[in-house]
């Protein structure tokens, strides 16, 4: 019983921790928004240009951080700094959820 409780508590910690720092996004809304990203990153998340990274299946937390870093200017890129400025917090969450989800197909 004690072991089961410990396992449940551990599972709770592990499942909660990775998502603690961002809100869950809406995959369908992310797909709609991703039309603006598709020319370089592909609507399937597979890069169309060697300098643009593949995004399919990328970890959601990393995608959120990358977009937010471009929004704040912490990270700079000619194209992405411009594109990210048009995004809301919800857009970022939705796009991250969408591109992350493509790795599960």
For binding to a second copy (CB under 8 A), which residues are involved? 18-19, 47, 50-54, 57-62, 65, 74-76, 103
Closest CB to a second copy among residues 63, 87: 63
CB neighbours of residue 88 within 10 Å: 10
- Tell which residue, 51, 100, 49, 47, has the closest CA to residue 77: 51
Q: Considering the complex, what minimum distance in angstroms separates the CB of residue 19 from a second copy?
A: 8
Q: How many residues does the chain have?
A: 105
Q: How far is CA 50 from CA 16, 84, 96, in A?
A: 35, 20, 21
DSSP annotation of 82: H
> CB-wise, 26 or 58, nearer to a second copy?
58
Q: Could you tell me the CA-to-CA distances from 90 to 6, 12, 15 in Å, in that order?
A: 35, 26, 22
CB 21 → a second copy: shortest distance, Å? Answer: 9
Smallest separation (angstroms) from a second copy to the CB of 77: 9
- CB nearer a second copy, residue 26 or residue 61: 61
Minimum CB–partner distance for residue 50 and a second copy (Å) = 4
């Amino acid at each position: 019983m004690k072991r089961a409780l410990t396992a449940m508590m551990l599972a709770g910690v592990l499942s909660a921790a990775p998502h603690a720092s961002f809100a869950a996004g809406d995959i369908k809304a992310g797909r709609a928004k991703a039309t603006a990203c598709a020319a370089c990153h592909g609507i399937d998340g597979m890069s169309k240009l060697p300098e643009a990274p593949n995004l399919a299946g990328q970890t959601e937390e990393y995608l959120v951080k990358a977009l937010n870093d471009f929004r704040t200017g912490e990270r700079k890129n000619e194209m992405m700094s411009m594109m990210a400025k048009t995004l809301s917090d919800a857009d970022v969450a939705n796009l991250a959820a969408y591109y992350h989800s493509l790795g599960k197909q």
